[in-house]
Structure 1
Amino acid sequence: MKKTLTNREKEKLSRILAMDVTLIEKLSEHDILDTSACRAVIIRSEYYEIRNQGRHNGGHIARALADAYGLSRSAIDLIIYKKESNKKCTCTCCGNPVSKYKFSRYGGLCDVCLVKQVEIE
């Protein structure tokens, strides 16, 4: 199930980007907008807007945003500070995705590349 932007999120996005709401609705209808990227822009904007008011702590704002958008606190932190999840590791040899456990356990290699290194006489 592909998530779409709500009307409230479309209005916020139009305010942030200084675009007409109808244009954003048309882009959304044609699946041109990346909903997760749009939500990230909205969340980041709301965070800094509330933070600049000076009445609330950053941790409290992040927790409130997590509740409002149904995300975890760590996901909100990743969005706010524009960080990438540390769970994304790639094999140093072939570039295929590898779990963090295998990356640290096998020295950055995936199972296929590790098997290629085994020498059989």
Structure 2
Amino acid sequence: MKKTLTNREKEKLSRILEIDGPTIEKLSEHDVLDTSACRAAIIRSEYMEIKNQGRHHGGHIARALADAYGLSLSAIELIIYKKEANKKFACTCCGSPVSKYKFTRYGGLCDACLVRQVKIE
């Protein structure tokens, strides 16, 4: 099931993007809006508004946003700080996917390419 924006989120998005409400509604009806990107923009905006008031710390604001949007704290932090979850790395030799650990540990090589480099006499 594809999630859609709530009316409250559409109003906030309209205010953030300075676009009138009916236009946002029409874009939403035609599935033109990326709901996750829209929610991320709304969450970042709300975080900055509350943070600029100076009454609350970042961690408390993030927890409040997590509760309000039904997301985990780590998901909110990924949105707020614009980080990527599970960055993808590729083997520098063959291009196959490699974990971050193996990428740093083995100099950018996957297991298969590392084994190919072993010289047995």
Q: What residue in structure 2 maps to residue 21 of structure 1?
A: 21
Q: Say whether residues 1:59 and 2:59 are aligned partners.
A: yes
Structure of higher CA gyration radius = 2
Gaps of 5+ in 2: none
Q: What residue in structure 2 maps to residue 7 of structure 1?
A: 7
TM-score of the two chains, using structure 2 as the length reference? 0.81
- Runs of 4+ deviating beyond 4 Å: 104-107, 110-121
* Cα gap change, 1:10 to 1:102, in 2 (>3 Å): same
| Percent of aligned pairs with the same amino acid | 80
Which amino acid counterpart does residue 77 of structure 1 have in structure 2?
A: E
Is the contact made by 2:43 and 2:79 (CA closer than 8 Å) also made in structure 1?
A: yes
TM-score of the two chains, using structure 1 as the length reference? 0.81
Is the contact made by 2:91 and 2:97 (CA closer than 8 Å) also made in structure 1?
A: no
Which amino acid counterpart does residue 40 of structure 2 have in structure 1?
A: A
RMSD: 2.3
Whole-angstrom CA distance in 1 between matches of 2:115 and 2:25: 51
Q: Tell me the CA shift for residue 111 of structure 1.
A: 5.8
Number of equivalences: 120
